[in-house]
Amino acid sequence: MTEMVFGATPVRAGDPILPRWWRTLDKWSLACVLGLFAIGILLGLAASVPLAEKNNLPRFYYVQRQAVFGGMALMIMLVISMMSPRQIRRIGVMGFAAAFVLILLLPLIGEDHGKGATRWLSIAGISMQPSEFLKPGFVAMCAWFMAAAQSVGGPPGRLYSFITAMVVVILLALQPDFGQASLVLFSWLVMYFVAGAPMVLLMSVMGIAALGGFFAYGASEHFARRINGFLNPEIDPRTQIGYATKAIQDGGFFGVGVGEGSVKWSLPDAHTDFIIAVAAEEYGTVLVLAVITLYCTIVVRSLLRLLRERDPFARIAGAGLACAFGVQALINMGVAVRLLPAKGMTLPFVSYGGSSVIASGIAAGMLLALTRTRPQGELAEILRRGRG
């Protein structure tokens, strides 16, 4: 009866790790992640060729690199998905500390790659974006604080998580990287809501964030330029948004045909931030709807499985990871169709980029680990603890 209500899967003594992992894993979510990665390689075959030719490189140079990064990400994801919530918490906290230090070093040794924001570090000839790796660690850190606050005599974890969130948001905004700052703040609000925060407090934080946006508009030319471009009713056809909008319109429902699209030759970020425009032009709305369905399946299935999770850390961290994963995809696609101002945010597992793909693998591995079916204890024992 307990298993029917709470979805517990019995774990036999001496049960091998791999069979137990496979039996308790959310296989639908894993299949969706693999599907997104496959679509990313498919789109990379078209979107990255113009960039390779421009840089005098082999035609499929960036596709090969994407396959290597993706293979690494999938291996990391599978290893992390086998971990317990305690191990997830530990690697998350350590990862957060390492990424936080790297972000502090950005003003000193960071690069902007011509994007107008200092977001990248070059280490041993490899360029990386520390904020991508910060996100999963940030979720684990704040979930740990919030879960600890629910224990009798526990620390003021909610306050600690709020301070951590504000420090991270400010550091990201100073790069400036308002897209990642907004995503971090959103994931914290989701976790705080799951942890039982009052709505008044959540609304107050959102009000403070709105005031911060007004301040950033007046203080940052980079931010103001993107907001003005978004609010302008006229779309300049020579801008990235203009090219992307036209590509989506031209693609229609079934697309113009594989390899027949032209937007990849005009958009400098066709293989990264605007990869969905390439998908819409060559494969049509059909593929775009398929991509949206894959993301929605991961988010919805993860949240439904977390509903029966009684470990506070797993429940809070899992909700933060799932919602951040889905909202990042929503932001990327929203920018391409001009529902949101340009953010410079990748599409998880689909866009080209080593930092993005590997960080997505880490986050997906943590989410798969936290949504695995675990024994939840006997109902009588839970009621006895509640009375105690």
pLDDT score recorded for residue 14: 54
Q: What is the pLDDT along the chain (388 residues), one digit of tens a residue?
A: 333 333 444 455 456 788 889 999 999 999 999 999 999 999 988 888 888 888 888 888 889 999 999 999 999 999 999 999 999 999 999 999 999 999 998 888 877 766 666 777 877 667 788 899 999 999 999 999 999 998 888 889 999 999 999 999 999 988 888 889 989 999 999 999 998 877 777 788 788 877 877 777 777 776 777 777 777 777 766 677 778 888 888 888 888 888 777 788 877 777 888 889 889 999 999 999 999 999 999 999 999 999 988 899 999 999 999 999 999 999 999 888 888 877 778 899 999 888 899 999 999 999 999 999 877 544 344 444 545 4
95 touches 137 (CB < 8 A): yes
Q: Residue 376: its pLDDT value, please? A: 59
Quick one: tokens of 273? 């931030």
H-run or E-run covering 238: none
Number of neighbours of residue 250 by Cβ within 10 angstroms: 16
What CA–CA distance (Å, rounded) separates 340 from 327? 12
Torsion angle of the four alpha carbons 285, 290, 291, 294, in this order, in degrees rounded to the nearest 10: 160
Q: Give the gyration radius of the chain's Cα atoms.
A: 22
Instruction: Find where tokens 């059909």 sit.
Output: 286
pLDDT on residue 6: 38
The whole-angstrom distance between residue 304's C-alpha and the CA centroid of its chain comes to 19
Contacts of 259 (CB under 8 A, 6+ apart): 46, 282
Domain ranges of the chain: 37-382
β 126-128/121-123 pair status:
antiparallel
pLDDT, position 57: 87
Q: What residue has token string 């992640």?
A: 33
Cα-based angle 80, 287, 73 (whole degrees, multiple of 5): 20
Alpha carbon separation from 253 to 40, 98, 158, 352 (Å, rounded): 20, 45, 47, 25
pTM equals: 0.88
How far apart CA 112 and CA 116 sit, in angstroms, is 6
Residue 335: predicted pLDDT: 86
Burial of 77 (0-12, 13-18, 19+ CB in 10 A): buried
**Torsion angle of C-alpha atoms 297, 81, 362, 333, degrees rounded to 10:** 0
Least Cα distance to 349 among 125, 72, 93 occurs for 72
